[in-house]
Amino acid sequence: MKKKIYVGNLPYRFSEDELGEIFIPFGQTEEVIIVRDHQGQSKGFGFVTMESEEAAQSAIEGLTEVQAGGRTLKISLAHSKGEGGGRGRSYRGGGGGGQGGGNFRPRRPSADNYGNY
């Protein structure tokens, strides 16, 4: 079964090819992605999908604390978006847009934001 690996603390000038080369000794890679912003600049992390769980585990063990481009890579199994651990939003109901939902307090006009009220 394919397993996706999170690779953090990547050098910002790293390419997908360079990242993929690091994983060659551990098995076949299915996909290599470096996450980029809207301007195409690396965000410093990416994902490598390995062909098997064994290859992924081997890569994680073999690449922990490895230096690349002057930076120590952070390697771990990737979690799906539905799993916790990230800084994602928590939808616990209530509140929300508009003027309803609990603790809404309108802003008071001030000299700084009077025209933007």
Q: Would you say 53 and 73 are in contact if contact means Cβ atoms under 8 Å apart?
A: no
Give the per-residue pLDDT at 7: 97
Give the per-residue pLDDT at 87: 54
Structure tokens at 101: 């939902």
Q: Which residues of 102-116 are buried (b: 16+ CB within 10 A; e: fewer)?
A: eeeeeeeeeeeeeee
Tens-place pLDDT, residues 35-49: 999 999 999 999 999
Give the per-residue pLDDT at 101: 57
Tens-place pLDDT, residues 51-101: 999 999 999 999 988 999 999 999 999 988 766 555 554 445 555 555 555
Sorting pLDDT into bands at 50, 70 and 90, what band is 117?
very low
Sorting pLDDT into bands at 50, 70 and 90, what band is 107?
low
Supply the CATH classification number for the domain 3-77: 3.30.70.330
Q: Which residue has the higher pLDDT, 95 or 28?
A: 28
Strand partners, 50: 3, 29
Identity of the residue numbered 39: Q
Give the per-residue pLDDT at 75: 96
The DSSP element (H or E) to which 60 belongs, if any, is helix 53-63
